[in-house]
Structure 1
């Protein structure tokens, strides 16, 4: 009798210690994640949020207490993308997708309703026999704006060059110009016709010979 009681007590103590260690490990992990600059989000196989760090709170406007246990798609995915997101999650859950480990660009929505572009790195692993997903997410709004500005500048330059070439080609007089390195850069149709050169002739870019 006493031996059975001692064994039961020892088992209870072991379980309590294991539970305490698990709680301490979870607390340490959460502390590390809360120090991360990127948002961290975990979801279970059903798409319910199980992990949410401080950066995620700042990024999306929801506290951890408000989101844990709730469907991810209802909170941070714009309505028009929710069905596609659910399908992608199902493929990931079944191991039919190669998205895990890749850098993905997608759109998320803030609690206030503002949409913003993010880059996400997703990982899949199995917990207690079921798939779970962990993602680091960062706001790339500034990066996308910078890329758009560069593209606008490139397009504007291309339009200006096209306009200049069209204007030069409308002249009956041959026109040529040299850049600072002495290379022959734009010359018009009239001059090409005189020399029998095509619009992309090798004459373009040649250095001017000193007289």
Structure 2
């Protein structure tokens, strides 16, 4: 049985005031010292097309996510996020209509996917703005979402050809052809809107994030492909 003395000793160890918390940025929800908001466009971008993000629930809990960068760089109605493992659901207000819009495309490397560069840019020959569907999560999670959502299989699938090396250097990518959700969305908009400057503007927060993390002890991550190639070379 715990004595009264022990109880009072335990209570005496409790601080009268709660420990001080680090100041957090109201926008990006990161500590002010490593806030990347200074990299955001001075005014939110308003492209004609919009990004529709289908996000796996587990992705929301990750510390180093890039979707908030998209959300804060673009006007609110130009970046919509729906969460779940299967789409659409009753809770996904407005998604059903988007998925059945003839100008909706899916960025996902199916066997029938066409190069994004082959699509007609907005405004040319009367081309209307696109709804660009992005699957946000790890590769296995994105794959699971695609196969669990039959309607996605019927969308016009596109892929980015000649993918540059990901600039998200503090996170390991499955292979050299993988990009973060931010990079994928930024590249897509720059192509579809025929405005290369969009890419540079939207990637600035990512550059800030990586620079801060590297300064605080993070290391540059290479893709798993590079890791296995190096391992194989050493064995030879």
The TM-score, its normalising length taken from structure 2, stands at 0.26
Which structure shows the higher helix fraction?
A: 1
Larger CA Rg, structure 1 vs 2: 1
Give the TM-score of the pair, scaled to structure 1. 0.28
